[in-house]
Structure 1
Amino acid sequence: MVLATDWVRLLIVCLTFTAAAAAIVRLTGLTAVMPFFTAATRAVLQLAAVSAVITFVLGHLGLTGLFLVLMAAVATATSAKRTGARRGAWVAAPILIGTVPALVLLVAIGLLPLKGISLIPVGGILIGGAMTATTLSARRALDAFQERHGEYEAARALGFHERDAVCLVIRQPAAEALVPALDQTRTVGLVTLPGAFVGMLLGGAPVWQAGALQIVVLLALLAVEAAAVAVVVELIARGLIRRTSQDSEVRLT
């Protein structure tokens, strides 16, 4: 049973970390403070809501599927907002292109039981990784396209098709979004102990089983994020993900 004093300690720690993050960015002039308080508040409210319904959801496979759809929808909306994409619906493609096959494969070969208790955590990890890769790659690619528009125009003048000219400019900046996933995989066990590993250990699973699941999740995450970045590059190159100002720039060339 959780005591009142435990909740007080939890509240103090959460407020301390949030205030520290806000103070750091304020004092160093990195960015605005309010997004940190907003993110912290949303995290508390969302986790409280999920905690209230998760037991019921986990017991019903149909509700588990709906919950995964909700997770993907929120990830798409978040990524679309962060990238400033004019056609936000297209952002769903890179998030789902690798996540869905990865989950199907894990279930098909028996590594992931067809149960909510397994599908939601692993699905959440893969969707979250795809969302992050999509956001970072799209932002960097769109910024590069804007900043290096002269290179795009030069490539077009040399006879490159529009898709190839855009890819020439954005491919490398977009690929930088894979650095966090690569570093996490390279340093797992030495620097990081990811959530799936720690969660299984806390749940009483053998160390070898926790390690096996974690390596599968990490490698699946690499594939999912690589697919997300590749699709982002293709969609931007074909003009399906663009900022409004960049659409007008392309039409003028």
Structure 2
Amino acid sequence: MDGQNIVAGWPLAGVLALLTAAGALTVWLGRIDAWRPVATAAVRAVVQLGAVSLLITAVLASGWLTGGFVLLMFGIAAYTSAGRVARGGWRATLRALPGAATSIAAGVGPVLALLFGTGVVAARPVVIIPIAGIFIGGAMMATSLAGRRARDELSTRHGEVEAALALGLLGRDAALLITRPTANQALVPVLDQTRTVGLVTLPGAFVGVLLGGGDPIEAGVTQLVVLISLLAIEAVAVLVTVEVVARTP
């Protein structure tokens, strides 16, 4: 146990199983949703993280494999967001995939280029993968939230869109008139996290540096870079997502 922050073993497996069951039962008994999505998500997390843990050593040893792994993360994130926005079968997801990929790439690409290009963040595989993963995950969440909200607004306020079209507005302009006022809701999670960092929460990057043996100052600087980068990334992702939805027939 010495030197270990979290001890792997049967007690850990039991605790994780108990937490999964508690979450699934709470959702089911509270009639929030079915229990299955919670249980499935937990099982997938175990399998996926197990696979990544086995592969990460080989990936970190090669720049090409690191790049491929980042592209894999990007592809999965884009497909996940497309499915959330489309809310249909796989065909609808594929139709929404280019838009979701554009939104995520528009937010993440320039920020990664800026950080690594200026040398603010070291361009080493052991740094690239977690930083890119955090940024892609944030952009994925913002894209999913903004896209779903925009679709819902256009569906529930269809009459207002028709009225705007009758007044001579183009389809894109009519859609943006409805979707833009609520687009900022997709930024609430990252705004709240940034505003309360250090006071309410100690996010993953901060904790990760500390657990890895870094000093608190280094942890704070790392977390600051991550949070402010996410503000820019998610703002761009939301803007592009709303634009894409407005232009989609």
1:80 is displaced (CA, Å) by 1.2
Q: Aligned equivalents of 2:11 and 2:225: distance in 1?
A: 35
Please state if 1:172 is matched with 2:181. yes
Encode CA deviations 1:18-39: one digit per residue, 9 max, x unaligned: 1111111111100111111111
Is 2:72 the partner of 1:63?
no
Preserved contact between residue 76 and residue 88 of structure 1 (Cα < 8 Å)? no
Alpha-carbon distance, 1:108 to partner: 1.1
* Percentage identity across paired residues of the two chains: 51
Q: How does 1:158-237 map to 2 (within 5 A)?
A: 158-237=167-246
For 1:11, the aligned partner's letter is: A
Q: 2 CA distance for matches of 1:80 and 1:6? A: 35
Q: CA deviation at 1:112?
A: 1.4
Determine the structure 1 residue equivalent to 2:81. Answer: 79
Alpha-carbon distance between aligned partners in 1 of 2:55 and 2:102, rounded to the nearest angstrom: 28
Q: Which residue of 2 aligns with 1:51?
A: 53
- Residues 174 and 229, structure 1, Cα contact 8 Å, conserved in 2: yes
TM-fit CA distance, 1:100 = 1.1
TM-score, normalised by the number of residues in structure 2:
0.92
Q: Describe the superposition over 1:141-168 as per-residue Cα deviations: whole angstroms up to 9, x where unpaired.
A: 1011000001101111112111110001
* Structure 1, unpaired ranges of 5+: 240-246, 248-253
Question: How far apart, CA to CA, are the structure 2 residues paired with 1:17 and 1:111?
Answer: 39
Shift of 1:89: 2.2
Q: 1:88 aligns with which of 96, 100, 106?
A: 96
- Number of the residue aligned with 1:149: 158
Structure 2 gap segments, 5+ residues each:
none
Whether the aligned pair in 2 keeps the contact of 1:79 and 1:131 (CA below 8 Å) is yes
- Give the alignment partner of residue 106 of structure 1, picking from 103, 107, 115: 115
> Within 2, Cα distance between the matches of 1:35 and 1:84?
18
In structure 2, the residue matched to 1:41 is 43
- CA distance in 2: counterparts of 1:6 and 1:217, whole angstroms: 28
Larger relative CO (CA 8 A, sep 6+): 1 or 2?
Answer: 1
Give the aligned residue type for 1:215. Answer: L
Change (3 A) 1:161 1:27: same
Amino acid at match of 2:96: G
Instruction: Work out the CA distance in 1 between the residues paired with 2:194 and 2:226.
Output: 10
TM value normalised by structure 1 = 0.91
Name the amino acid aligned to 1:189: G
1:48-102: CA deviation from partner (whole Å, max 9, x where unpaired)? 0000010111121111000000000000111111222631222101111110111
Q: Is the 8 A contact 1:58 1:116 kept in 2?
A: yes
Partner amino acid, structure 2, of 1:31: D
SS of 1:182's equivalent in the other structure is helix
In structure 2, relative to structure 1, the CA distance for the partners of 1:6 and 1:52 (3 Å cut) is closer
Q: 1:94 touches 1:231 (CA, 8 Å); kept in 2?
A: yes
Query: What letter corresponds to residue 89 of structure 1 in structure 2?
Result: L
1:204 deviates by 1.4
Query: Alignment partner of 2:9: what SS?
Result: helix
Q: CA 1:74–1:207 in structure 2 vs 1: closer, same or farther (change >3 Å)? A: same
Residue aligning to 1:19: 21
Shift of 1:233: 0.7
Taking only aligned residues, the RMSD between alpha carbons, in angstroms, comes to 1.4
SS class of match (2:213) = coil
Give the total of aligned pairs: 238
State the alpha-carbon separation in 1 of the partners of residues 37 and 64 from structure 2. 34
Distance in 2 separating the partners of 1:214 and 1:99: 17
What's the secondary structure of 1:89's corresponding residue? helix
